[in-house]
Amino acid sequence: MPTTDRTTALRVAVVVGSVREGRQGRAVADWFLRTATGHTNLDLDVIDLADIDLPLVMPGWGGTPSPATAGALADSSARLAAADAFVVVTPEYNHSFPAVLKNFIDWHGPQWQAKPVGFVSYGGLAGGVRAVEQLRLVFAELHAMTVRDAVSLHGPWSGLGEDGTPRDTAVSEGAAKGMLGQLAWWASALRSARATLPYQG
Protein backbone atom coordinates (compact mmCIF):
# COMPACT_ATOMS: atom_id res chain seq x y z
CA MET A 1 0.00 0.00 0.00
CA PRO A 2 1.14 3.61 -0.55
CA THR A 3 2.48 5.32 2.53
CA THR A 4 2.79 8.97 3.54
CA ASP A 5 5.85 10.33 5.31
CA ARG A 6 4.52 12.14 8.35
CA THR A 7 7.68 14.24 8.52
CA THR A 8 6.97 15.83 5.14
CA ALA A 9 5.69 19.38 5.56
CA LEU A 10 1.97 19.87 5.11
CA ARG A 11 1.23 22.14 2.17
CA VAL A 12 -1.34 24.79 3.12
CA ALA A 13 -2.81 27.13 0.50
CA VAL A 14 -3.86 30.43 2.09
CA VAL A 15 -6.57 32.02 -0.08
CA VAL A 16 -7.01 35.79 0.30
CA GLY A 17 -10.67 36.21 -0.59
CA SER A 18 -11.13 39.97 -1.03
CA VAL A 19 -10.23 42.21 -3.96
CA ARG A 20 -12.01 45.38 -2.87
CA GLU A 21 -10.09 48.66 -3.11
CA GLY A 22 -8.69 49.59 0.29
CA ARG A 23 -9.15 46.00 1.48
CA GLN A 24 -7.78 44.75 4.79
CA GLY A 25 -7.56 41.19 3.51
CA ARG A 26 -3.90 41.16 2.57
CA ALA A 27 -2.88 42.78 5.87
CA VAL A 28 -4.90 40.19 7.78
CA ALA A 29 -3.36 37.40 5.71
CA ASP A 30 0.15 38.74 6.35
CA TRP A 31 -0.53 38.81 10.11
CA PHE A 32 -1.78 35.23 9.91
CA LEU A 33 1.33 34.15 7.99
CA ARG A 34 3.58 35.68 10.65
CA THR A 35 1.59 33.92 13.35
CA ALA A 36 1.64 30.59 11.52
CA THR A 37 5.42 30.60 11.10
CA GLY A 38 5.65 29.39 14.69
CA HIS A 39 3.73 26.25 13.77
CA THR A 40 6.13 23.56 12.64
CA ASN A 41 5.70 21.32 9.62
CA LEU A 42 3.63 23.75 7.53
CA ASP A 43 4.53 24.97 4.04
CA LEU A 44 2.36 28.04 3.42
CA ASP A 45 1.43 29.18 -0.10
CA VAL A 46 -0.53 32.42 -0.54
CA ILE A 47 -3.10 32.59 -3.35
CA ASP A 48 -4.29 36.19 -3.55
CA LEU A 49 -7.44 36.48 -5.64
CA ALA A 50 -6.46 40.05 -6.56
CA ASP A 51 -3.80 38.45 -8.74
CA ILE A 52 -6.15 36.07 -10.60
CA ASP A 53 -8.52 37.28 -13.31
CA LEU A 54 -11.37 34.79 -13.64
CA PRO A 55 -14.59 35.59 -15.54
CA LEU A 56 -17.99 35.22 -13.93
CA VAL A 57 -19.31 33.39 -16.99
CA MET A 58 -18.40 29.71 -16.94
CA PRO A 59 -18.47 27.28 -19.86
CA GLY A 60 -21.43 24.95 -20.18
CA TRP A 61 -21.30 21.38 -18.90
CA GLY A 62 -18.57 19.58 -20.78
CA GLY A 63 -17.24 22.83 -22.20
CA THR A 64 -13.74 24.15 -21.83
CA PRO A 65 -12.52 27.53 -20.57
CA SER A 66 -11.24 30.10 -23.01
CA PRO A 67 -7.47 30.14 -23.54
CA ALA A 68 -7.16 33.26 -21.39
CA THR A 69 -9.13 31.67 -18.55
CA ALA A 70 -7.21 28.40 -18.87
CA GLY A 71 -4.03 30.40 -18.48
CA ALA A 72 -5.36 32.14 -15.38
CA LEU A 73 -6.39 28.80 -13.87
CA ALA A 74 -3.22 26.89 -14.70
CA ASP A 75 -1.17 28.20 -11.80
CA SER A 76 -3.82 28.41 -9.08
CA SER A 77 -5.47 25.09 -9.91
CA ALA A 78 -2.14 23.27 -9.69
CA ARG A 79 -1.38 24.91 -6.34
CA LEU A 80 -4.78 23.93 -4.94
CA ALA A 81 -4.32 20.37 -6.16
CA ALA A 82 -0.91 20.16 -4.49
CA ALA A 83 -2.20 21.49 -1.18
CA ASP A 84 -2.96 19.24 1.79
CA ALA A 85 -5.15 21.89 3.43
CA PHE A 86 -6.55 25.37 2.96
CA VAL A 87 -6.98 28.53 5.01
CA VAL A 88 -9.50 31.03 3.64
CA VAL A 89 -9.09 34.66 4.69
CA THR A 90 -12.43 36.37 4.15
CA PRO A 91 -14.29 39.53 5.07
CA GLU A 92 -18.03 39.62 5.59
CA TYR A 93 -20.00 41.56 2.99
CA ASN A 94 -23.74 41.95 3.54
CA HIS A 95 -24.01 38.94 5.84
CA SER A 96 -21.98 36.72 3.48
CA PHE A 97 -18.63 36.33 1.75
CA PRO A 98 -17.32 38.10 -1.38
CA ALA A 99 -18.53 37.10 -4.83
CA VAL A 100 -14.94 36.80 -6.08
CA LEU A 101 -14.30 34.10 -3.50
CA LYS A 102 -17.38 32.08 -4.52
CA ASN A 103 -16.36 32.43 -8.15
CA PHE A 104 -12.85 31.14 -7.42
CA ILE A 105 -14.24 28.21 -5.42
CA ASP A 106 -16.69 27.31 -8.19
CA TRP A 107 -14.00 27.26 -10.87
CA HIS A 108 -12.49 24.28 -9.02
CA GLY A 109 -13.87 20.96 -7.85
CA PRO A 110 -11.68 17.92 -7.16
CA GLN A 111 -8.91 20.16 -5.83
CA TRP A 112 -10.97 20.71 -2.65
CA GLN A 113 -12.02 17.12 -2.04
CA ALA A 114 -11.07 15.22 1.12
CA LYS A 115 -8.99 18.10 2.47
CA PRO A 116 -9.51 20.33 5.53
CA VAL A 117 -10.33 24.03 5.42
CA GLY A 118 -9.69 26.58 8.16
CA PHE A 119 -10.92 30.16 8.27
CA VAL A 120 -9.64 33.59 9.22
CA SER A 121 -12.49 36.10 9.01
CA TYR A 122 -12.87 39.77 9.72
CA GLY A 123 -15.46 42.50 9.55
CA GLY A 124 -17.76 44.45 11.82
CA LEU A 125 -19.14 43.40 15.17
CA ALA A 126 -19.60 39.79 14.09
CA GLY A 127 -15.98 39.43 12.99
CA GLY A 128 -16.99 37.74 9.73
CA VAL A 129 -18.46 34.66 11.41
CA ARG A 130 -21.60 34.73 9.26
CA ALA A 131 -19.46 34.59 6.11
CA VAL A 132 -17.68 31.55 7.56
CA GLU A 133 -20.93 29.79 8.41
CA GLN A 134 -22.03 30.08 4.79
CA LEU A 135 -18.63 28.95 3.50
CA ARG A 136 -18.92 25.81 5.61
CA LEU A 137 -22.02 24.84 3.61
CA VAL A 138 -20.25 25.50 0.31
CA PHE A 139 -17.20 23.42 1.22
CA ALA A 140 -19.34 20.56 2.52
CA GLU A 141 -20.92 20.34 -0.92
CA LEU A 142 -17.43 20.14 -2.40
CA HIS A 143 -16.47 17.21 -0.13
CA ALA A 144 -14.06 19.31 1.91
CA MET A 145 -13.89 19.12 5.73
CA THR A 146 -14.00 22.42 7.64
CA VAL A 147 -12.32 22.51 11.04
CA ARG A 148 -14.38 23.57 14.02
CA ASP A 149 -12.31 26.44 15.39
CA ALA A 150 -11.74 29.60 13.38
CA VAL A 151 -10.12 33.00 13.78
CA SER A 152 -12.52 35.96 13.75
CA LEU A 153 -11.26 39.52 13.94
CA HIS A 154 -13.94 41.92 15.05
CA GLY A 155 -14.12 45.44 13.69
CA PRO A 156 -10.80 45.38 11.83
CA TRP A 157 -10.94 49.05 10.96
CA SER A 158 -10.42 49.82 14.64
CA GLY A 159 -9.19 46.42 15.84
CA LEU A 160 -6.14 46.18 13.55
CA GLY A 161 -3.02 48.27 13.62
CA GLU A 162 -1.57 49.84 10.50
CA ASP A 163 0.63 46.79 9.92
CA GLY A 164 -2.35 44.45 9.99
CA THR A 165 -1.60 43.12 13.47
CA PRO A 166 -4.68 42.69 15.69
CA ARG A 167 -4.56 44.96 18.72
CA ASP A 168 -5.66 42.09 20.95
CA THR A 169 -2.76 39.86 19.92
CA ALA A 170 -3.06 37.35 22.75
CA VAL A 171 -6.62 36.35 21.89
CA SER A 172 -6.08 36.42 18.13
CA GLU A 173 -2.85 34.44 18.21
CA GLY A 174 -4.42 31.92 20.57
CA ALA A 175 -7.31 31.43 18.16
CA ALA A 176 -4.90 31.00 15.24
CA LYS A 177 -2.86 28.43 17.17
CA GLY A 178 -5.99 26.43 17.98
CA MET A 179 -7.26 26.48 14.40
CA LEU A 180 -3.86 25.52 13.00
CA GLY A 181 -3.58 22.62 15.41
CA GLN A 182 -6.89 21.20 14.20
CA LEU A 183 -6.04 21.93 10.56
CA ALA A 184 -2.67 20.16 10.80
CA TRP A 185 -4.21 17.09 12.45
CA TRP A 186 -6.87 16.73 9.78
CA ALA A 187 -4.43 17.52 6.98
CA SER A 188 -2.09 14.77 8.13
CA ALA A 189 -4.88 12.25 8.66
CA LEU A 190 -6.55 12.95 5.33
CA ARG A 191 -3.27 12.98 3.42
CA SER A 192 -2.56 9.50 4.75
CA ALA A 193 -6.11 8.40 3.93
CA ARG A 194 -5.90 9.69 0.34
CA ALA A 195 -2.58 7.89 -0.15
CA THR A 196 -4.03 4.63 1.13
CA LEU A 197 -7.35 4.84 -0.68
CA PRO A 198 -8.06 7.61 -3.23
CA TYR A 199 -11.19 9.54 -2.36
CA GLN A 200 -14.26 8.59 -4.39
CA GLY A 201 -16.13 11.87 -4.68
Domain count, the chain: 1
CATH number, domain at 132? 3.40.50.360
- Flag whether 201 is in a domain: no
| Structure confidence at residue 100 (pLDDT) | 98
Q: Is residue 2 part of a domain?
A: no
CA distance 194 to 8: 15
Domain span at residue 53 reads 10-194
Residue 124 falls in which region: left (phi positive, over 0), alpha (psi -120 to 50) or beta: left
* 1 assigned to some structural domain: no
Establish if 50 belongs to a structural domain: yes
Instruction: Classify residue 3: in a domain, yes or no.
Output: no
Q: Which pLDDT belongs to residue 3?
A: 43
- pTM to 2 decimal places: 0.93
Residue 199 maps to a domain = no
**Domain-located, residue 5:** no
Please check whether residue 14 is in contact with residue 44, taking contact to mean a CB–CB distance below 8 angstroms. yes
pLDDT (tens, 9 = 90+) of the chain, 201 residues, equals: 344 566 799 999 999 999 999 898 999 999 999 999 888 899 999 999 999 999 999 998 888 999 999 999 999 999 999 999 999 999 999 999 999 999 999 999 999 999 999 999 998 888 899 999 999 999 999 999 999 999 999 876 667 777 767 888 888 999 999 999 999 999 999 999 999 999 987
Determine, yes or no, domain membership for 51.
yes
**CA–CA distance from 185 to each of 28, 42, 113, 145, 165 (Å)?**
24, 11, 16, 12, 26
